[in-house]
Amino acid sequence: MVCAMKGYTFHPLSSDAFSAEKLDTMRAFGAELEIVQSDGGKVTPALFDRFKARIAELAQDPNNFYTDQFNNVDAVEGYAGMGRELFEQMGRVDGFVGMIGSGGMLVGVSQALKQAGAHARIIALEPSTSPFLTTGKGGAHRVEGTAVGFWPPHLVKGAYDEAWAINENEGRAMAKRAAREEGIFAGTSTGLNIVAALALARELGPGKVVATVACDTGLKYLAGDLYK
């Protein structure tokens, strides 16, 4: 969207492992979309290795600017606004959970909460099908935007308290439940966030404030099998 407004050429790398709606949206904005083939439509560490190799080739062109979300600290500060808004509106936050992709969202919110004086328990989440953070071993999964199969540089020691692996199928079931019962229409990663938030709330007990995020709209997933 920004590139269309600014007149910049946008050359994103994506994959058939991600929803058709996301790919078509980028094309609609005029992106020169390049598809990196996945392993059977799943997100795997090998897919991100192929991304890295192709990015290294493109980055050699001096006319290209690689935004590098995994190392760009601007992303962390961009997400910090969520943490500040959350604390201002709630007055206290006892726990915050979030799925890890680049780690920018969780770390940005965590830093903001700590600066505001909140003593929140921060939980980094991943799908149990690719438990790199908890076991050191990545795997194939279908939770878009998460579990890249390597340690994201933003996720530094002290930014979070612990990591949990959440059952992917439970997350998919929760995404459907959230839409039908609460009107929260989002994707699988949001379902996993809610599963973990409820688990932490039960653990902390009554009177505690636990927060997470609904990552994006479920309209991005209607062509897949999540809402079939």
> Which CATH number do you get for residue 180?
3.40.50.1100
User: Which candidate, 197, 192, 142, 144, places its Cα nearest to that of 165?
Assistant: 192
Instruction: Quote the domain boundaries for residue 197.
Output: 74-221
Q: Can you read off the two tokens belonging to residue 225? A: 């099998």
Q: Are 143 and 181 in the same domain?
A: yes
Q: Are 167 and 99 in the same domain?
A: yes
Q: Are 106 and 159 in the same domain?
A: yes
Q: Are 176 and 86 in the same domain?
A: yes
Residue 64, in any domain of the structure = no
Q: Are 54 and 144 in the same domain?
A: no
Distances (CA, A) of 165 to 66, 73, 204: 31, 25, 18
145 HSE (CA, 13 A, CB side): 18
Render each residue's pLDDT in the chain as its tens digit; 228 residues: 999 999 999 999 999 999 999 999 999 999 999 999 999 999 999 999 999 999 999 999 999 999 999 999 999 999 999 999 999 999 999 999 999 999 999 999 999 999 999 999 999 999 999 999 999 999 999 999 999 999 999 999 999 999 999 999 999 999 999 999 999 999 999 999 999 999 999 999 999 999 999 998 999 999 999 998
The dihedrals phi and psi of 80, each to the nearest 5 degrees, come to: -60, -30
Counting the structural domains of the chain, the total is: 2
Q: Are 99 and 164 in the same domain?
A: yes
Q: Are 82 and 52 in the same domain?
A: no
